[in-house]
Amino acid sequence: MLAAVLLAGCAGGPPEDPTEPAYQRYWQCAYGAAMPYAADYSVSPRSAAARAQSACANVYRAYRDARINYVRSVVPSHDRDMATTLGNQAARERRKMVTQRLIELVAEAR
């Protein structure tokens, strides 16, 4: 009986990340901006990713701000500076992952 109650509590899975829609908009922008360079061999995959990131800087900032606000909402108010740093770092790590994936996708498309 106890096991059933514990499993029922876990059945819901992890809470949904409220910043996911902002991330998806950022990913769609970056992917859409990078892939036209797949046919342009004069631009390296790394440069294509950098150009895509530049073209989507405003969308990334919206994602970063959403991430910071989310972290601030779950961290005690007296740790606001720490929450800002953590949210910024989380967004930056995801940006690095996006850059790497764009490089791979452009290279694979060639």
**Residue 22, amino acid:** A
Give the integer Cα–Cα distance in Å for 20 and 97.
15
Give the residue among 6, 95, 105 at the shortest CA–CA distance from 46.
105
Residue pLDDT tens, the chain, 110 long: 544 444 444 555 566 889 999 999 999 999 999 999 999 999 999 999 999 999 999 999 999 999 999 999 988 888 899 999 999 999 999 999 999 999 999 999 98
Residue with tokens 């809470």: 15
Give the residue among 85, 33, 90, 84 at the shortest CA–CA distance from 59.
33
